[in-house]
Structure 1
Amino acid sequence: MKSSSPTGTHIVIAGAGAIGCYVGGMLAHAGHEVSFLGRPRVLDQLRTEGLRVGDYTGMDVTLAPETLDLHESPEVLAGADLILVCVKSAATAAIADQIAAHAPPHAIIVSLQNGMGHAETLRAALPAHDIRAGMVPFNVVPVAPAHFHRATSGDIVIAAGLGDLAQTMSVAGLDVTESDEIEAVQWGKFLLNLNNAPNALSGLSLHSQLLSRPWRRLMADQMTEALRVLRAHDCAIRPTTPVPVGLVPHVLRLPTPLFRRVAAKMLTIDAQARTSMAHDLGAGRATEIDALQGRIIEMGRAKSIPTPLNSAMHAAVKMAERGGKTGMTPDQLRSFKSGS
């Protein structure tokens, strides 16, 4: 059942996964008219349990099942004023086709996805629409059926444009800002997202992983390799942490007691937090490894820059997707080859 939005904006969440359910739940709790477009696997849980969203500050809200507007058919897009695309990277082209077939011309589309290039994919299919790239800095953990917990801090950033879309999307507990340098902001988050693979393969929480110097050294070396590739392509990069992007690998390599002091804000993470890739592997779902390490491998190949660590992570995750092992050590990952 839909409610009356305080802004008169009908928001459709295209992709009711962890990020989509959390952001949509926060917007619905604030009084926005929100519809969820998703798969039966998630929507059936929402129909039974309602939608529970919480965060690291202690916020905990449950929306009753009868208050949720849940759809498996893309026809719901016909009434959308704002579409928040939260599908996995590989599903971007498919959701773009659905939006093109059903959404009205005035609908604004915002990509809240991991990786790069999704806004371009959407623009190619939707040339008449206002398309905005976005960056979600925080981690959302599915802790139980229909229960999504935000485990880290940070504000959503979207591309600047006409109107005050950031104000429309900002509600208590969920702040959104606009940037004229959204691609640089996305590259900054992209570099941090390269840790999705090591974390998923480690079997550790993010907090435990960050407190392990061998894991941080692996993260640092992988990031350094990726930075070399991005700089060869003249990619502008804006950090999403207080530490300048070029210094992050140096901070990661510090002894743990010093790292704790220098990177205190990087450790404001719930003990239960793990990356989305870890949850995908645990659930037997395909990951976004091609949009992350796979992207660096392709860009490195274009400039004849070797990417052995990113290639090792890519191969290890692909094997894990096929039922291979996790719970690996940094040394095992450094030497991993396809077929290991």
Structure 2
Amino acid sequence: MTSGSGQRHQPRIGIMGAGAIGLYVGGMLAGHGAPVAFAARGRTLEALSRGLAITRLGGFKIELKPHQYRAGDIGTLAGCDIVLFCTKSGDTGTAATGLSRVVDPGTTIISLQNGIGNVEILEKCLPGCSVVAGTVPFNVVRMSPNAVHCAMEGTVLVGPGKGSQHLVAAASSSPLAVGIREDIDAVLWGKLLLNLNNGLNVLSGVPLRRQFEDPAYREVLALAMEELLAVLEAAGIQPAGATRTSPSLIPKILRLPTWLFRIVARQQLRMDESARSSSWDDLVAGRQPETAFLNGAVCRLAEEHGMRAPVNRMICEQVDLAFAEGQSPQLSGKEMRALAYQATK
């Protein structure tokens, strides 16, 4: 990206959705010199006026001062070259419509959201922009309105494009790893495979690491994943992993004895004891669930191909009940497994 004088300058990066992911990605970039603007409101906006604290697995810590970034209403994103879209999936349409009144034609919009279907909504609401799919295959926990903790290692993955190249360049001087994947659509389906656990984390009410220690929980997740893999095969879609592990092998790994699972999945289990899913964060914060874009996406694709996805439908129904009641049912692994097998009858 060059200025009028031909000199190279850093892209102006906007963050639409100052939640855990938005604050982490934007803060990592801003903390190492990138011009970053956050669209925020309420407690988050007030807290950002005092600074932003970021920690990460392994002891990394950075504390940003307010002068290192800009924060304000959606108008703060005017003039940005790249906007990282980090809102919850259920808010995509409303947020994108508001953003359309602010950004210039040609702005690159990179979706870093969970689930399937957000890119299509963004393209419809922002027809003059270049929309790129992306994903964040690691866990970030919101500790307070202006403090986040990355509980796992991983690389932000984005689709190809000039804006993506500029983002990678902007991140090159920071500890934030950003990579471009030509097969980003396949990666999104592979990421969805992992995100099928989000709802189960709501239903269990326990941290992710503890949940994965229970073979009954792992069995339910394996069943949900196998439904998605079967539907993708019927649809002619080949998912790609965000990691080296083939998506088709993950259900088999989940069914290994716990002692062997710990060894085979040791890299994936490198997470803090505090790590929970983003759906758990939504439940605690009183937001709407994203399940319709996760397990619900499996059910919709199954229906399109004359198939069923009973375990994923059960998860959707149970998560909806949990959000309606405002609390986790704290189902044990055995209780959840019983519900899964009952749903398949």
Normalised to the residue count of structure 2, the TM-score between the two structures is 0.91
Tell me if the contact between 1:18 and 1:141 (Cα under 8 Å) persists in the aligned partners: yes
Higher mean C-alpha displacement, 55-64 vs 323-332: 323-332
Does the residue aligned with 2:141 lie in a helix, a strand or coil? strand
Q: CA RMSD in A?
A: 1.8
Q: 1:185 to 1:325 in 2, by over 3 A?
A: closer
Contact 2:136 2:157 in 1 (8 A): yes
Per-residue deviation at 1:7?
Answer: 3.4
CA contact (8 A) 2:117 2:293 kept: no
Task: Write out per-residue CA displacement over residues 179-203 of structure 1, whole angstroms, 9 at most, x where no aligned residue.
Answer: 1110001111111000001112111
Residues 7 and 236 (structure 1 numbering): CA distance in 2 closer, same or farther, change over 3 Å? farther
Q: Is the 8 A contact 2:302 2:309 kept in 1?
A: yes
Residue 98 of structure 1 aligns with an amino acid whose one-letter code is: G
How many angstroms apart in 2 are the aligned matches of 1:175 and 1:123? Answer: 26
* Contact 1:169-1:176 at 8 Å conserved across structures: yes
Structure 2 counterpart of 1:140: 140
Shift, 1:302, TM fit: 1.7
Contact conserved, 2:38 with 2:77, CA < 8 A, in 1?
A: no
The aligned residue for residue 236 of structure 1 is 238
Preserved contact between residue 7 and residue 168 of structure 1 (Cα < 8 Å):
no
Q: Residue 56 of structure 2 aligns to which amino acid in structure 1?
A: D
Local SS of the residue matching 1:109:
strand
Indicate the residue corresponding to 2:292 in structure 1.
Answer: 290
Match of 2:87 in 1: 87
Q: Deviations over 1:114-150 (max 9, x none)?
A: 1122222211222332211101111001123411000
Indicate the larger mover: 123-132 or 109-118.
123-132
**Aligned partners of 1:316 and 1:333 also within 8 Å:** no
SS in 2 for 1:306: coil
Cα distance, 1:20 vs structure 2: 0.3
Match of 2:4 in 1: none
Give the match for residue 71 of structure 1.
72
The amino acid of 1:279's aligned partner reads: D
How many Å separate the matches in 2 of 1:107 and 1:222? 37
**Does 1:22 pair with 2:24?**
yes
Checking the alignment, whether the CA contact within 8 Å between 2:14 and 2:37 is kept in structure 1 is: yes
The 2-side partners of 1:21 and 1:176 are apart by 16
**C-alpha distance in 2, partners of 1:256/1:66?**
48
Q: Give the alignment's TM-score, normalised by structure 1.
A: 0.92
What residue number does 1:332 align with? 335
Q: Tell me if 1:276 matches 2:278.
A: yes
Deviation at 1:66, TM superposition (A): 4.5
The percentage of aligned residue pairs carrying the same residue is: 37
What CA deviation, in whole Å up to 9, does each residue of 1:205-254 have, x standing for no partner? 11111111111111111111111112211122001232211111001000
User: What is the Cα deviation at residue 322 of structure 1?
Assistant: 0.9
Q: Which residue of 1 aligns with 2:3?
A: none
The number of residues matched between the two structures is 331
Letter in 2 for 1:312: M
Secondary structure of the structure 2 residue equivalent to 1:266: coil
Structure 1 counterpart of 2:54, one-letter code = V
Q: 1:124 to 1:16 in 2, by over 3 A?
A: same
**1:39 paired to 2:37:** no
Long gaps (5+) in structure 2: 1-7
Cα pair distance change 1:16/1:219, threshold 3 Å: same
Letter in 2 for 1:64: K
Please say which of residues 191-200 and 236-245 is displaced more in the overlay.
236-245
| Match for residue 194 of structure 1 among 175, 193, 196 | 196
Instruction: Give the one of 221, 245, 248 matched to 1:246.
Output: 248
Counterparts of 1:255-274 in structure 2 under 5 Å?
A: 255-274=257-276
In 2, distance between residues paired with 1:317 and 1:170? 39
Indicate if the aligned counterparts of 1:26 and 1:171 stay in contact, CA closer than 8 A. Answer: no
- 2:244 aligned partner, one-letter code: P
Extract structure 1 runs of 4+ deviating beyond 3 A.
65-68
Q: CA deviation at 1:15?
A: 0.6
1:223 aligned to which of 221, 225, 240 = 225
Alpha-carbon distance between aligned partners in 2 of 1:249 and 1:171, rounded to the nearest angstrom: 37
Amino acid at match of 2:48: L
Q: CA deviation at 1:284?
A: 1.9
Alpha-carbon contact 2:202-2:328 (below 8 Å) kept: no
